[in-house]
Structure 1
Amino acid sequence: MDATRYCSRLASHEQMPGTAEPVDVWLLLEYRPPWRAKAVSNNDLAVEIANWFSGLPDLLATEGLKARLQFIRQPELEPTQVRLLVGCADSVFEFPADGYHELLRVDVLDVVANPNGYAKRRVDEPRYFVCTNGQRDLCCARFGLPLYHALRERFGARVWQTTHLGGHRFAPNVLVLPQSTLYGRVTEADLDDFLEDTEAGLLHLPLLRGRHGYPQPAQAAEAYLLDQVGGSWSLRDVAESNNGWHVSFTCGSETARLRVEQPAEPEMILKSCADDQAKPVRAYQVESCSIRTSLQD
């Protein structure tokens, strides 16, 4: 019996909606050598390539966009090229190159600003990125690797290993693009129902951590709204007020308004297998929800 202390087992009761880091643009670079704990910032890329890749978030920040860097790989393959994937505007664009220096030609700002100009680089089917970096946290390898292999059996090259996605304690974590949605605690037993939704472009509520394009209070509000009401809602507004948030969504002529708060007393959670002590966590909680039609506004 495995007696290792895994944070994902100890935190299995923790609420997941509202735990995805807000991200506007995903930059996923294929890097096949072994990954260190903080692989994106500690690797063996040539200095010019490392500086280019690490500088992309600052470049996109000039346009008011938050970017996240990831390494990706498919260890069982031996491709002759390296690839950069850019996730933005509900799309994923793939740029293959004969070497990293060729990727320096990719104008990431233009890809984000003019996605229609890169139709030939757009990939149509969902891509799955499973966090598997055991050097960062034991749970990512222990639970992520089996899930990666199970997904690979179904979808082949559409599935990638990736570096830290945040939230070791929710492992296995899976990023789905172009949905730009993060899921946690995904197991092989969940795959049929999970993939039925994600392949159709739908959210799979039982394993949802949140849409990366939404602030975290809105992530929690959306999960609550879909669970309680159903439908297809679009985020309208998020406003911080009186130690909480007012979040509104629209669906046709209807507007949903939700009040989201965090408890005054945090729950103590072991957030990583390497942590010596539990840390305070305040989950987002929906305190009220009202729905009105446009005639009532």
Structure 2
Amino acid sequence: MNVFEGLSCSAAATDAPLPGTATEVTGWLCVEHPGAWGRDVIGDEVLGPEITQELAARTVAARVRPTLIRRPGRNEFTGTRTVLIASSREDGAWCERFEITDLKQLLDIDLHLLNGPPPGIGVPVHDPLVLVCAHGKRDQCCALLGRPIAAELATKYPGQVWESSHTGGHRFAPALVLLPSGFTYGRLDTAGAVAMVEAARRGEVALTGLRGRSCHRPIEQVAEVAVREQISAATGDLTVVLDADPVPTEPTMAGAALVTHRDGRRWRVTVRTVAFAPRQASCNAAAKPVTGLVADRIVLLF
């Protein structure tokens, strides 16, 4: 018997570790779309058949994540859309904002620029922006748990909070991403979400609900979170790379990463996999085996 049967995917995932679960993204193209969202951001052609195929090809080629956004609450469409472009690189993250009146204007953007310094296409955004997944067509947990959080945050931080399409990890709903840093969170209540934003505004990283930074691979994400839990470090204090040295050959060992503080301290973090009972990764989906990543050893090298 599956003990998780009948539960929502987020309720079934409460024992799964959060670190290492942020979607790997460095380039973001966020397009305001107040209307209905299909299950897939581009595949369902919600932006219209005239540009969908071309935009899909360009985002794939530039390794940019297309994301639909809308303002929390009921809003009438005025014909003008906000577009956010962002780079969540470890060094030199940035975000710019501009408006369009025709979706074809998206094809005027060289998306490869999102892999470099700020291109000056729009107005620089200095305050942290919050994407809250509210993509009910993708998974009901995001709509039920994400929308109330987005509404609360938007009241406190007007203009800085957007409901967004699928950001990855609806089983950790409410799922939130900070731009431009790419720090990704899950399972936050309103108080935790406010603390996350306030920390980001101070140039710090809140630890509650932290899943990882989107520019890193899963093992690197786990390593960074593990080190941050041991020391006080500002947003840009740490750099993380996979360790090329072999790790012990135990079946559960996943790898290792080196975490370096700007003051010269360096840690080696080994990471292992943990198996959990099968459960659904999405609401109404069939149960399947689940694994997570956890820090095994944290060694200060110097």
TM range (shorter): 0.7 to 0.9
Identical counterparts, % of pairs:
26
* Mapping 1:1-297, distance limit 5 Å: 5-60=7-62, 66-74=63-71, 76-77=74-75, 78-88=77-87, 89=89, 90-115=93-118, 117-118=119-120, 121-232=123-234, 233-239=237-243, 241=246, 242=249, 243-251=253-261, 252-263=263-274, 265-277=275-287, 279-293=288-302
Q: CA deviation at 1:119?
A: 7.4
Structure-1 separation of matches of 2:38 and 2:48: 16
Deviates more, 1:16-25 or 1:254-263: 254-263
Indicate how the Cα distance of structure 1 residues 191 and 109 shifts in structure 2: closer, same or farther if over 3 A, else same: closer
Number of corresponding residues: 282
Contact 2:153–2:194 (CA under 8 A) maintained in structure 1: no
Offset at 1:189? 3.2
Q: Distance in 2 between matches of 1:147 and 1:204?
A: 17
Q: Does the 8 A contact of 1:93 with 1:121 survive in 2?
A: yes
Asked if structure 2 preserves the Cα contact closer than 8 Å seen for 1:87 and 1:93, the reply is yes
Query: What root-mean-square deviation, in Å, do the aligned CA atoms of Structure 1 and Structure 2 show?
Result: 2.1
The residue aligned with 1:63 is none
TM-score computed with the length of structure 1 as normaliser: 0.87
CA distance in 2, matches of 1:5, 1:141: 16
Are residues 111 and 164 of structure 1, via their aligned partners in 2, closer, same or farther at CA, if it must alter by over 3 Å? closer
Distance 1:119 1:58, change over 3 A: closer
Greater helix percent: which structure?
Answer: 1
Provide, for residues 179-217 of structure 1, a one-character-per-residue CA deviation record: whole Å limited to 9, x for no partner: 111110121232342222122232211110110011111
* Cα offset, 1:236, TM superposition: 4.1
Cα distance in 2 between the residues matched to 1:5 and 1:244: 30
TM-score by length of 2: 0.86
Secondary structure of the residue aligned to 1:146 is: helix
Give distance in 1, aligned partners of 2:240 and 2:209: 24
Inter-CA distance 30–36: structure 2 relative to 1 (3 Å threshold): same
- Deviations 1:12-44, CA, capped at 9 Å, x for gaps: 222101001111211111222211222331033
User: Which runs of 5 or more structure 1 residues have no equivalent in the other structure?
Assistant: 61-65
Q: Secondary structure at the match of 1:130?
A: strand
